Amino acid sequence: FITKLDSGGVLWPDVSENFTTLSGQLSNLHKVLTKEETPELQNLVLLPLMTVGHDATLEQLTAGRIPCLPPDSIPNYLRTKLDPDIEKYEQDINSEVNSMPDQ
């Protein structure tokens, strides 16, 4: 997918369909984990597969950009908010803009 994105060969209907499928699978997993019949699964944490050393498959899939996926980088990939430094910088810019007199 990343290789196709870089080369411009992405068909957006296919991407949308893949993400819809992924969303459906995650929704089904959520339903299974929240059922009362499976309390032993409710206390487990699901994390992406992490590699400590070099991962040739990951490197090939990412065209050499990501040779390994160390555990300390997972929060950055799963982050839904901006990095705190970037968020503060953006707030500073917005404050500066809002404090400027209208011209």
3-state secondary structure the chain: CHHHHHHCCCCHHHHHHHHHHHHHHHHHHHHHHHCCCCHHHHCCCCCCCCCCCCCHHHHHHCCCCCCCCCHHHHHHHHCCCCCHHHHHHHHHHHHHHHHCCCC
The pTM assigned to this predicted structure is 0.36
Dump pLDDT digits (tens) for 87-96: 899 999 999 9
What's residue 65's pLDDT? 81
Band the pLDDT of 102: cuts 50, 70, 90.
Answer: confident
Dump pLDDT digits (tens) for 29-73: 888 777 777 777 667 776 666 667 788 887 888 888 878 877 777
